[in-house]
Amino acid sequence: MSFSLSDQNDTIIALATPQGVGAIAVIRLSGKEAISLTNEAFFGKNLEKQESHTIHFGTIRDGDKIIDEVLVSIFIAPKSFTKENVVEISTHGSSYIINQVLKLFIRKGARPAKPGEFTQRAFLNGQFDLAQAEAVADLIHADSETSHQAALSQMRGGFSSEIQELRSRLIHFASMIELELDFGEEDVEFASREELRTLVERLLRVVEELILSFDLGNVIKNGVPTVIAGKPNAGKSTLLNALLNEEKAIVSEIAGTTRDFIEDEINIGGVIFRFIDTAGLRETTDVIEAIGVSRTQEKMKTASLILYLFDLGDTDLVEINRDVNKLENQGVPFLKVANKIDKANSLLVNELKEQHPDTIFISAGQKDNLEELKARILVLVNLDKFRTGNTVVTNVRHYDSLVKTRESLLDILSGLDNEVTNDFVAMDIRRSLHFLGEITGEITTDDLLENIFRNFCIGK
């Protein structure tokens, strides 16, 4: 898939709503001829004489045959998502009608849109920058409160304006230094080295913070990788099922939702938790369990959160202390979860309350005290930083560019330390500018665009 300029002149068409039967379906056209093409098939009034941002009732006909009664919304360039003429046709949501309408317009000269092509046009026509375009895709796929908030703030340009601000300051310095280069031998200094150092150090701090936010961003987008660790029969799969079933119940209560239920993912307080190696948890034979144990150990290293689960009827304090010690050395945040409180001996419970007052006592089997467990999980992952509205990097591509930016900023600093000549400083500044520009799309290549928009769905 590549995008040439001639592609840009086509009028494109796609179904904008999901495939399948729905009350209504929206078919979208964008391009110079979006309105005139629609007008050829529309009966009711002359769409070419209507104002932008108006809606019109009529029928779509193929020759004498009425395909459907529809509502047509008109957006005249440049006041539309793509900044081109855009028409949205709301039809009844039958796949037969949708296919008939699509075929009709393709016969009349519209071209089926490629994945993400509407958004790509919006980007190429300056509606927003690349980071914002990518946020559109994230927003569509966001299925939790936190991922939605991150995508929304990126789409509205929070991240972009931060990057652009940094970039424009650097550009200022770059031009000063290039000016000095023009003066060559004459010993003039337009750009103060000290000011440049201060600026670069400030940029570094911002870039570092954005890089650090990626861990959080990743968690927001993909879920907190979580492991339930414990001996066989501690109740690990019972706990997982109890948490999942609650979630399933909530999901199915929302009538008419089509959201697929994702096995092993649980939404707690707007944050997605992704349970790792749950297949291992569900296996029962001893051999597999033994493998499962070492595999779990491997997985614990990649987790951001461990629920250490033990059976109150089958564990003593020595064992718990030993496990807790091991977990502390591993450095991954963990919760001590004592299971089977319904049949626990009170001696161990009292000892635990004394020596490990942060233990959470539950009964996975009877679904007791799971609310407290969830509350404590949320406290432990602490997403407050995110909620205060700080920019969070959620995109691997942005992360890569930021890491490269950091390297070239560090190069500027070491250049200044070693008093290298202007041309080297200018080169390092240009490299920093390049990597910052990659994020917002001021610097793009066809490959980059292709990669990004390939991941969009058709119709977006």
- 82-90, 234-242, 349-357, 432-440 -> range binding ligand GDP (CB under 6 A): 234-242
281 counts as binding ligand GDP under rule CB under 6 A: yes
Out of 44, 232, 263, 372, the residue judged to bind ligand GDP by CB under 6 A = 232
d(CA 5, CA 110): 16
Closest CA relative to residue 273, chosen from 213, 220, 337: 220
d(CA 336, CA 316): 14
Q: Which lies closer to ligand GDP via its Cβ, residue 91 or residue 339? A: 339
d(CA 393, CA 202): 18
Tokens of 116: 């993400």
236 counts as binding ligand GDP under rule CB under 6 A: yes
343 counts as binding ligand GDP under rule CB under 6 A: yes
User: What letter does residue 143 receive in the DSSP assignment?
Assistant: -
Tokens of 108: 């009349």
Q: Which lies closer to ligand GDP via its Cβ, residue 280 or residue 415? A: 280
Q: Are strands 12-15 and 111-112 parallel, antiparallel or unpaired?
A: parallel
The binding site for Mg(2+) consists of 237, 258
235 counts as binding ligand GDP under rule CB under 6 A: yes
Instruction: Characterise 83 by phi-psi region: left (phi > 0), alpha (psi -120 to 50), beta (else).
Output: left
SS3 229: strand
Out of 234, 381, 402, 449, the residue judged to bind ligand GDP by CB under 6 A = 234
Tokens of 409: 């900023």
The binding site consists of 233-238, 252-258, 277-280
Shortest Å distance, C-beta 232 to ligand GDP: 4
Shortest Å distance, C-beta 360 to ligand GDP: 13
SS3 447: helix
SS3 73: strand
Out of 8, 149, 153, 237, the residue judged to bind ligand GDP by CB under 6 A = 237
- 75-83, 106-114, 244-252, 335-343 -> range binding ligand GDP (CB under 6 A): 335-343
Q: 351-370 mask for ligand GDP (x: CB under 6 A)?
A: ------------xxxx----
SS3 273: strand
Q: Which lies closer to ligand GDP via its Cβ, residue 125 or residue 233? A: 233
Q: Which residues bind ligand GDP (CB under 6 A)?
A: 230, 232-238, 281, 339-340, 342-343, 363-366
